[in-house]
Copies of this chain bind each other. A is one copy, B any other.
Amino acid sequence: MVAPIDITFLGTGSAQPSHTRNHQSMAFRADGEIWLFDAGEATQHQLQKSNLKMGRITKVFITHMHGDHCFGLPPLLCTMTENLNPNRAHEGVVDVYGPRPLRQWLRVALRSTYSRLGRHYRVHELIMEGEVADENQEDRHPDEEPGTNIHVKDNTFDLPIDDKEGWTVRAAPIQHSIPSLGYVIQEPSQPGKLDHATIVPKIQRNAQALLEKGYKSPMAVLGKLQRTQVDITLPDGEVLTPPARRPGRQIVILGDTCDASSMLPLCNSPHLLVHEATNALTQLDRIPTSSSQPEITLKDVEDRARSHGHSTPQMAADLAKRMGAQKLIMTHFSARYKGDDSDEESVAIMEEIRQHALDVLGKERDKDVFCARDLWFYEIKY
Report Cα–Cα, A108/B17, bound state, in Å: 22
* CB-based nearest B residue for A115: B67
Q: In the complex, what residues of B have CB within 8 A of residue A71's CB?
A: 71, 74-75, 109, 113
Q: Is A42 an interface residue (CB 8 A)?
A: yes
Cβ of A95 to closest chain B Cβ, rounded Å: 19
* CB-based nearest B residue for A41: B75
Q: In the complex, what residues of B have CB within 8 A of residue A292's CB?
A: none
- How many residues of chain A have a CB within 8 Å of chain B? 37
Q: Is A235 an interface residue (CB 8 A)?
A: no
A45 near B17 (CB under 8 angstroms)? yes
Cβ of A340 to closest chain B Cβ, rounded Å: 15
Q: A41-B75, A44-B41, A71-B75 are in contact. Are A112 and B65 (CB under 8 A)?
A: yes
Q: In the complex, what residues of B have CB within 8 A of residue A17's CB?
A: 44-45, 48, 79
Q: Is A360 an interface residue (CB 8 A)?
A: no
Q: In the complex, what residues of B have CB within 8 A of residue A101's CB?
A: 112
Q: Is A104 an interface residue (CB 8 A)?
A: yes
A16 near B74 (CB under 8 angstroms)? no
Q: 1/0 per position for A147-180, CB-CB distance to B under 8 A?
A: 0000000000000000000000000000001100
Which residues on A are within 8 Å of B, measured CB to CB? 15-19, 22-23, 41-42, 44-45, 48-49, 65-68, 70-72, 74-75, 78-79, 82, 101-102, 104-105, 108-109, 112-115, 177-178
Other than A19-B49, A101-B112, A109-B109, give 15 A-B pairs with Cβ distance below 8 A.
Answer: A15-B82, A16-B79, A18-B48, A22-B45, A41-B42, A41-B44, A41-B45, A41-B75, A42-B42, A67-B75, A67-B115, A71-B113, A104-B112, A105-B109, A105-B112
